[in-house]
Chains A and B, each alone.
Chain A
Amino acid sequence: MYEILTGPLLWIAFAVFFVGLAARVVMYFMGLDWRLDRVAYKPHMGYGLKGAFRSVYRWLLPFGTYSWRAKPIFTIMFFVFHIGLVIVPLFLEGHAVMIRNGLGIDWPAMPQLLADVLAIAAFLAGLGIAVRRLLLPEVRILTDIKDIMLLVLILTLLGSGIIATYHTANYSFWITLHVLCGVIVLLAAPFTKLSHIALIFCTRIQIGMDFGIKRGGMKSNFDW
């Protein structure tokens, strides 16, 4: 099982992930329509790019926006969760070894202790986000089964990875579960809400251009 998962299937999953997301990005930008969106993207590209940059940049900063500052606890959970999910898989020693062996590239890795801390923190933040989803009426009303399944998938991915790191008695079970979840995430990303991995940049760029070009960006910068 583990061999199949880490063999060709994994590379297929990566291909689906990258090609699928790239296709969604291309389709997104091709689907923008200056008349229907009511934003003259092309004639004012300079203002547009400035607005887009500010819109992406401010939102990438923890507490960088009015909205982040209005909800500090959620903001901390959000960033801890996402930083863990982006940084750890990229620079974990265990993953770096696979990349070095598979692609023959000299891939850097982070210290194991740091990876552990980030991963556990991300797991706890994810749990917090799940609890918030169930507790707050304004979030519960929006929640559907897909939201729950996605959270369960990600928490399982993180949890099994953390447990497997400690080489417990059931190592092969946990590591297989971990890789399985990883493969599912990669395969599902282009077709589910996981596509936000790429699309969040698209929508933020669009709204940034919208404010940058049409809704006042030529007179003052929107203070996200």
Chain B
Amino acid sequence: MPEGTICNKRPVATREDLDALLADSNGKKYYAEMEQLDVDAEKLWATIQKTMKSRTKTWLDICAHCGLCADSCFLYSVNGRDPKQVPSYKIQSTLGEIVKKKGNVTNEFMRMCMDTAWSKCTCCNRCGSFCPYGIDMGVMFGYLRGLLHSQGFVPWELKIGSGMHRLFRAQMDVTVEEFVDTCEWMVDEALEEWPCLEIPVDKEDADIVYMINAREAKHYPEDIVEAAILFHVAGENWTMPSEGWEMTSLSMFAGDWEACKMQVETVYGAMERLRPKRMVATECGHAYRATVIEGPYWAGRPDGQPPVECLHYVEWVAEALETGKLKIDPAKRIKEPVTLQDSCNYVRNAGLRDCGRIIMKHIAEDFREMSPNKEHNYCCGGGGGFNGIGRYRKQRNVALKMKREQILATGAKFVIAPCHNCWDAIRDLEEEFEIGIRWSFLKPLLIKMLVVPEHLLPQE
């Protein structure tokens, strides 16, 4: 049975596996090998029989073919209402066919499924709220991704990302030492402006354990310092774990459930070791979804809850502003029109729609809602791994059009995006379409607007 050297059914297990994948350029060799990859029909069907229970089966079965979900999908709208982009069609022609054929599908078919699962659906789950039966194509595409992953049909970048989680328990190769180092030198640099600033690592029984997205540690360490400054000003008793600080899960995008479990157990391990009262998560949508919403199930926790109460950053900020822990200087509030990106992962799929509004009330004078918004907001265009896959860059750029229209319609030139993925997509949107917008996370904005207590300022 032909298996490629880098494109195969085996997940990354060693540094050598990972390096071999990384040595490929843009996945050229990887995708060439994929064309020869055998489909193990027997295993595929066995997996389906074991894991496809009444929810998914019934969804596939009773879809009324009414097409009510068509307009709910932004990818259908931005692709000229292409009937092949109707959510029901996308899932019936992929997962539906695999089930009908009892797993007896060709290599070519599996590659078509891969292209559909990762370039025609961001798993934003919007369609699920527009279907009279509540059929959620986002959930089913997540399931399909798992099946494709188990057969080796997964985009190159996501096999790498998932491999990183397996080897480093982070989506990037950041070791415990490197992480702790980064925290130390970043604080050293900020001390002049913020005396007594610290990032307490591995402090037990703190009120808050703060967890992040690995790219902050690797590429945007200033984000960690900003978080430290805000906790410092708010007077929080907080800490970060030296191990288990990474909340993201590219393995979730890849459908690599085994790696998802490994990753989230490391995070929960940190919570159990340090026994904080609560966890606060950085401004990332899918990291929150992975660790707080889906993670408990990967880890097999029967109550569906993480070991400690978890807050997304917007929840913590909303709370800190409402309780007065953080105070905004009225003169420094945002004067220009500003809009807010509601992340599917923590708004539609985790009920946090009000936090953003509370924050905007405190920091913005001319807040403009997008339409639609809250749980009905459209995906930024780059979710579910779409942003990071070179093979689908063209399709991703088309996908950005919906957000472009939504932002333009608000008249605002400034977009607040408290989610790494959305932030990236909106940055790329500006690069691609040049509509003259700026975008930001919350942290740098808040720091500029804060009223800082006298004793925390540098002594002249």
Contact = CB atoms under 8 A, between A and B. Distances in A.
Nearest to A217: B351
Interface residues of A, number: 58
Contacts of B132: 59, 67, 78, 200
B135 interface: yes
A86 interface: no
A35 to B, nearest CB: 6
B458 interface: no
A206 interface: yes
Contacts of B349: 215-216
B341 to A, nearest CB: 17
B392 interface: no
Contact of B81 (A44, A138, A224): A138
Interface string B292-311: 01101100101111000000
Contacts of A99: none
Contacts of B24: none
Chain A, interface SS category:
helix
A169 interface: no
B302 A36 contact: no
A74 B68 contact: yes
B390 interface: no
Contacts of B83: 137-138, 140-141
Contact of B302 (A30, A31, A43, A213): A43
A220 B342 CA distance: 15
B433 interface: no
Interface in B8-56: 51, 53-55
Interface stretch (B58-66, B183-191, B268-276, B400-408): B58-66
A139 interface: yes
A28 interface: yes
A141 B55 contact: no
B57 interface: yes
Nearest to B69: A67
Nearest to A219: B351
Given A37-B55, A139-B67, A216 B84 contact: no
Contact of B293 (A28, A44, A147, A214): A214
Contacts of B128: 207
A75 to B, nearest CB: 9
A213 B349 CA distance: 11
Interface stretch (A12-20, A171-179, A191-199): A191-199
Interface string A5-33: 00000000000000000000001111111
Contacts of A166: none
Interface in A183-221: 193, 195-196, 199-200, 202-204, 206-208, 210, 213-220
B53 A33 contact: yes
B330 interface: no
Contacts of B131: 67
A124 interface: no
Contacts of A61: none
B62 A193 contact: yes
Most-contacted residue by chain B among A137, A143, A147, A203 (CB, 10 A):
A203
Nearest to B142: A38
Contact of B304 (A29, A39, A67, A200): A39
Nearest to B297: A38
A78 to B, nearest CB: 8
Interface centre among A137, A141, A143 (most CB of B within 10 A): A141
Contacts, number: 148
Contacts of A74: 66, 68
A28 B58 contact: yes
A49 B311 CA distance: 24
Contacts of B372: 66
B350 A219 contact: yes
Given A40-B304, A138-B67, A206 B55 contact: yes
B369 to A, nearest CB: 14
B354 interface: yes
Interface string A121-139: 0000000000001001111
Interface string B69-95: 011100010000101101011001000
B375 interface: yes
B441 interface: no
B134 A214 contact: no
A83 to B, nearest CB: 15
Contacts of A142: 63, 65-67, 86, 88-89, 92
A206 B134 contact: yes
Contacts of A31: 53-55, 57
Interface of A: 27-40, 43-44, 55, 59, 66-67, 70-71, 74, 78, 133, 136-144, 147, 193, 195-196, 199-200, 202-204, 206-208, 210, 213-220, 222-224
Given A35-B297, A138-B83, A222-B375, 12 more contacts: A32-B54, A37-B55, A67-B72, A67-B131, A67-B132, A71-B68, A71-B71, A74-B66, A138-B76, A142-B67, A199-B58, A213-B304
Chain A to chain B: the 10 pairs with minimum beta-carbon distance, closest first: A216-B351, A31-B54, A40-B304, A207-B134, A139-B67, A142-B65, A219-B351, A141-B83, A38-B297, A138-B70
Interface of B: 51, 53-55, 57-59, 61-68, 70-72, 76, 81, 83-84, 86, 88-89, 92, 128-136, 293-294, 296-297, 300, 302-305, 348-354, 372, 374-376
